[in-house]
Amino acid sequence: MQTDLTRRDLIGDLDFSKEEVETVLDVAFDLKRKRALGELHPILRDKTLAMLFFFSSTRTRGSFEAGMAQLGGHAAFIESKTTQIAHGDTPHEIGEIFGRYYDGIAIRHCDWGLGNRYINDVAKFSRSPVLNMQCEIYHPFQILADLMTIIEKKGRDLRRKKMVVSWAYAASYQKPMSVPQSLILQMPRFGLDVVLAHPPEFKLMPDIMDQAREQARKFHTGFEVVDDMEAAFKDADIIYAKSWGAMVHTADPDEGAKIIKKYEHWITDERKMALAKDDAIYMHPLPADRNIEVTDGVIDSAQSVVFDEAENRLHAQKAVMALTMR
């Protein structure tokens, strides 16, 4: 166990080593047990967290706010439009000032080409740890919750388990690609053989792909890319299928929307789930476009673990806050 994560930033998935992620998971499971037993755990009593949102949220805001309260502290919700950021407050000012006001700064900023740079710029000037609640490149807290859920359902020995990370159709908007990118970075470190499935126009960022291949080599796990959803699903242990935008192919939202329409058949339905193993689990970070991205019959089935996954956001985030904000 790595015992000193105090004041560490968590912006990208590889910021924490595998051993440090294991420490986070150990603490998360302990805090989940305490929550279940009603044991108080005010580890961060009188500590404060600034939550700066440039991108709307349901689970992220709720889980961070509840988590800080359960740890004995307070989380301040700050919508970027209610600040002076548009009128001159730079990342330098936010880092310096919020780093002095608060014991931690959490930021969600998913604008293509802007979000990750903004979070890193704030971190340069903050004396308090900076936590990435999601940017256009990474979603580390979602993936910690996903890993925790997979361990709960499949055990700690995940070697030779097949995990499918698949694109799925959704017409609502060009969703960030941070979830699939974080998944392919983190999951090979824990023994999972990852199969990434997407239509040709929905490639992930080349440097992230290179890093994912390197993690697979380092930890002796499989990493394969296919353009056939059904072929990917065959004999899978874990299905993680969600939509993301074609930003690597084109940053134009109108062009992206036209491309998305070509692939309405990339839906997770009962027929495709039947191609996976009988005990395969279905995962999604939510919200899902029901009966467009995934059928009700799948997301509401016994194979679906989406609500356990959502709950584990709370426990995983509490673990990171408890370890970094002391």
pLDDT at 2: 87
Architecture in CATH of 142-309: 3-Layer(aba) Sandwich (3.40)
pLDDT at 257: 85
pLDDT at 253: 82
Omega of the bond prior to 287 within 30 degrees of 0, cis?
yes
Which tokens sit at 148? 């925790």
pLDDT at 155: 98
pLDDT at 248: 93
pLDDT at 106: 98
Task: Please tell me the number of Cα atoms within 13 Å of 85 on its side-chain side.
Answer: 18
- CATH code, 13-139+312-324: 3.40.50.1370
Task: Convert the pLDDT of each residue in 6-57 to its tens digit.
Answer: 999 999 999 999 999 999 999 999 999 999 999 999 999 999 999 999 998 8
Residue with tokens 């339905």: 269
Residue with tokens 């698949």: 166
Cα–Cα distance, 128 to 97 (Å, whole number):
10
Cα–Cα distance, 148 to 278 (Å, whole number):
21
Exposed (0-12), middle (13-18) or buried (19+): which is 289, by Cβ within 10 Å?
Answer: middle
Task: Convert the pLDDT of each residue in 306-315 to its tens digit.
Answer: 999 999 999 9
Cα–Cα distance, 134 to 57 (Å, whole number):
10
Sequence ranges of the chain with CATH classification 3.40.50.1370: 13-139+312-324, 142-309
Q: What is the pTM of this model?
A: 0.97
Q: What is the residue-level pLDDT of the chain in tens, covering all 326 positions?
A: 888 999 999 999 999 999 999 999 999 999 999 999 999 999 999 999 999 999 988 999 999 999 999 999 999 999 999 999 989 999 999 999 999 999 999 999 999 999 999 999 999 999 999 999 999 999 999 999 999 999 999 999 999 999 999 999 998 678 999 999 999 999 999 999 999 999 999 999 999 999 999 999 999 999 999 999 999 999 999 999 999 999 999 888 888 889 999 999 999 999 999 999 999 999 999 999 999 999 999 999 999 999 999 999 999 999 999 999 99
296 backbone φψ class: left, alpha, beta (φ>0; ψ -120 to 50): alpha
Helix H or strand E segment including 53: strand 48-53
pLDDT at 251: 82
Percent of the chain past pLDDT 90, that is, above it, reads 93
